[in-house]
Amino acid sequence: MNIYQAYKYCPRCSGEFEHKGKNLLQCSQCKFKLFVMPSLAINAIIEENGQILLVERKNEPNKGTYDLPGGYIEPNEDPMDAIKRELHEELHIVGEVQKIISILPDIYPYQGIDSPTLGICVLVKRISGEIKPDDDAKSYKFFDKETILEENIGFESIKKALKIYLTQ
């Protein structure tokens, strides 16, 4: 189900939403407007010794596939702080952002709803910490740059971000 089908009722008056445009829902009763926007996420490319780190997803969606470490940016959180938080939560490491690699749209299928996302992918240098998978990461592995795109990567935006990085 797409996000427009999921949002049926107005949070202000409980009237029914009508789809009024590309990303606009409007209440049929009080005329409240809800603009459907993507959720923001951030992921890190960590390259060490010519290999790139991927984590195995512990949870749905795409449980068991590979992903870059990262996650959602919380409300009012600086994206660069968000990736530092995510690296600590998922891998128990401290990283320093080197540069932005890409900003790409995707769809996050979760609990029957396909939600739009906008993913920021950054190059990160590990500063400290021994990698220990936790939180959403079941395991991790470093992959050769020449074969990484052959792996079972769960999200199209992650594949595209890796392609962009590998061609720079």
Q: Does this model's pTM top 0.75?
A: yes
Q: Does residue 131 sit in the same domain as residue 77?
A: yes
Q: Does residue 24 sit in the same domain as residue 102?
A: no
Q: Give residue 111's pLDDT.
A: 92
Residue 138 tokens read as 């079941």
Q: Give residue 81's pLDDT.
A: 98
Q: Does residue 18 sit in the same domain as residue 51?
A: no
Chunked mean pLDDT (size 10), the chain, 168 residues:
92 96 95 96 98 97 97 97 98 98 96 96 98 95 97 97 97
Q: Are the C-beta atoms of 137 and 55 separated by less than 8 Å?
A: yes
What CATH number has the domain bearing residue 66? 3.90.79.10
Residue 90's identity, in one-letter code, is E
What residues are paired with 119 via a beta bridge? 41, 104
Q: Does residue 75 sit in the same domain as residue 120?
A: yes
Q: Does residue 120 sit in the same domain as residue 148?
A: yes
Q: Report the C-alpha gap between 167 and 115 in whole angstroms.
A: 29
Q: Does residue 26 sit in the same domain as residue 101?
A: no
Q: Give residue 99's pLDDT.
A: 98
Query: Among 125, 120, 79, 86, which Cα is nearest to 101's?
Result: 120
Residue 92 tokens read as 């128990």
Q: Give residue 21's pLDDT.
A: 87
Q: Does residue 44 sit in the same domain as residue 19?
A: no
Domain that holds residue 126: 39-166
Q: Does residue 10 sit in the same domain as residue 67?
A: no
Q: Does residue 29 sit in the same domain as residue 43?
A: no
If one counts the domains in the chain, the total is: 2
